[in-house]
């Protein structure tokens, strides 16, 4: 195996690792966001967990952050929470999720 082949394998492994990390971080941040939204909506217990889980699992493969923002902003519109506030909270949740994954792995 040449040095180029080894380097290529290393880049491929890093890319796969980074993709897996971001997938996990996104799922975790969506769950954190879902729990925050549930509390804003006055949900608790199984209802809150169900909301958060649905936010993670609905269209898991194809859901974009913009779709998440639209869904959550729609759910919170009656509570006076703006899309910008939801976007800021999503950024906070993503940062928190990445910190949690970094410290656990």
Cα–Cα distance, 21 to 59 (Å, whole number)? 19
Rounded to an integer, the average pLDDT of 13-34 is: 91
What's residue 10's pLDDT? 82
pLDDT value at 30 more than 70: yes
Question: What is the residue extent of each domain of the chain?
Answer: 3-104
Half-sphere exposure of 40 toward its Cβ, with a 13 Å CA cutoff?
22
What's residue 59's pLDDT? 65
Cα–Cα distance, 1 to 9 (Å, whole number)? 11
- Which tens digits make up the pLDDT trace of 91-105? 999 999 999 998 876
* 3-104 is a CATH 1.10.790.20 domain: yes
- Which tens digits make up the pLDDT trace of 35-80? 999 999 999 999 999 999 999 988 676 678 888 999 999 999 999 9
């Amino acid at each position: 195996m040449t040095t180029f082949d080894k380097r290529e394998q290393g880049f491929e492994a890093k890319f796969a690792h980074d993709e897996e990390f971001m997938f996990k971080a996104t799922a975790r941040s969506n769950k954190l966001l879902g729990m925050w939204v549930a509390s804003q909506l006055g949900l608790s217990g199984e209802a809150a967990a169900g909301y958060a889980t649905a936010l993670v699992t609905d269209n898991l493969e194809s859901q974009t952050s913009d779709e998440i923002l639209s869904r959550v902003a729609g759910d919170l519109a009656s509570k006076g929470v703006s899309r910008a506030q939801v976007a800021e909270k999503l950024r906070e949740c993503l940062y928190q999720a990445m910190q949690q994954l970094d410290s656990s792995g």
